[in-house]
Amino acid sequence: MEGRLANPFDIFILPIVYNAIFALKKYTILFLQPILYINSKLIAMTPKIAALILPAAFFSISLFAQENAKPEDTEYYTPVPKVVTPGRACGQAPSDAIILFDGKNLNEWAPEGDTNSTKKWVLADNFMTVDKTVGDLRTKRRFMDFQLHIEYRIPADIQGSGQARGNSGIFLASFPWGAGGYELQVLDNYKNSTYVNGQAGSIYKQSPPLVNACKKPGEWQYYDVVWTAPRFTESGELKSAARVTVFHNGVLVQNNFELRGDTPYVGQPAYHPHGPAPIKLQAHGDKSKPISYRNIWVREL
């Protein structure tokens, strides 16, 4: 048979070309492998690297910003607080207050449950005195959050002991169910002891006063109160509890206390859904002489 003679191209050139291609492929792979490996590691480590680098970057930027900060960077000019003229003397109503009682009349007040009743407490000498036959007196207006100033006087010749000695109370929101509201206790606790969570300055049966700041019977005393009403959802669930801060004769007795609900005489506090509510003054049924109130004003917050 006649065979095909190998030519020089087959013998010498082709093997060189094949080897070159093989070598190129092999070394390309060997060369690319570490790059691909490093790349994949870098991608995997990206979050860690970012976690290290970003805070450092932010820190550097904030350091740079602090070094270059100007006083005016943290100063702003609006909204401008409205101007309120303070009372001339301590305890006098500021210009934006709603005057609930200035000693002249009881127009802002009504007996509980009877807005049109003409029966009210006794008005004389610029103050009003509890009439226990009339019962509790409440504001005709309703309030949510407010600052309240109110002054009271226990009769100088007060008799009785414990809870039966000049007992009254300021219900910071009043309603005709449950305990009837949230009572800030008014009582003569000048050298008269009782359960501490029921003495003057207490949120009745929830929070004793931080200190006993009572003055002697016969002297005018005062409360300054900051009241944040509770909030409820449309379905009546408690959204945020009521909070109260109270100064008694200028002394802090309740410091942003969060109420657990209303203030019953018997049983546990509970919340009952309500909106804006009157402020109520208590005509307590004890046999001691009735106390007096004067200079009552409120600022809605």
CA atoms within 13 A on the CB side of 129: 11
133 CB-near residues (< 8 Å, 6+ apart) = none
The number of residues that bind Mg ion (CB under 5 A) is 3
53 CB-near residues (< 8 Å, 6+ apart) = none
Nearer to Mg ion (CB atom), residue 167 or residue 228: 167
Nearer to Mg ion (CB atom), residue 100 or residue 283: 283
Which whole-number Å values give the CA distances from 192 to 159, 196, 284, in the listed order?
Answer: 11, 11, 17
Among all chains, which residue has been given the structure tokens 């930027």?
61
Q: What is the DSSP letter of 95?
A: T
Among positions 145-204, residues that touch Mg ion (CB under 5 A) are: 167, 169
- Stretch of residues binding Mg ion (CB under 5 A), selected from 53-61, 81-89, 217-225, 280-288: 280-288
Is residue 197 within 8 A of residue 205, CB to CB? The reply is yes
Radius of gyration, alpha carbons of the chain: 39
Nearer to Mg ion (CB atom), residue 97 or residue 136: 136
Nearer to Mg ion (CB atom), residue 167 or residue 206: 167
CB of 185 to Mg ion, least distance (A): 5
CB of 163 to Mg ion, least distance (A): 8
Pattern 208-247, binding to Mg ion, x per CB under 5 A? ----------------------------------------
Sign, CA torsion 205/210/216/218: negative
- Stretch of residues binding Mg ion (CB under 5 A), selected from 28-36, 96-104, 267-275, 282-290: 282-290
- Stretch of residues binding Mg ion (CB under 5 A), selected from 16-24, 51-59, 189-197, 279-287: 279-287
CA 250 to chain centre: 21
- Stretch of residues binding Mg ion (CB under 5 A), selected from 39-47, 55-63, 248-256, 276-284: 276-284
**Given the rule CB under 5 A, which residues bind Mg ion?**
167, 169, 282
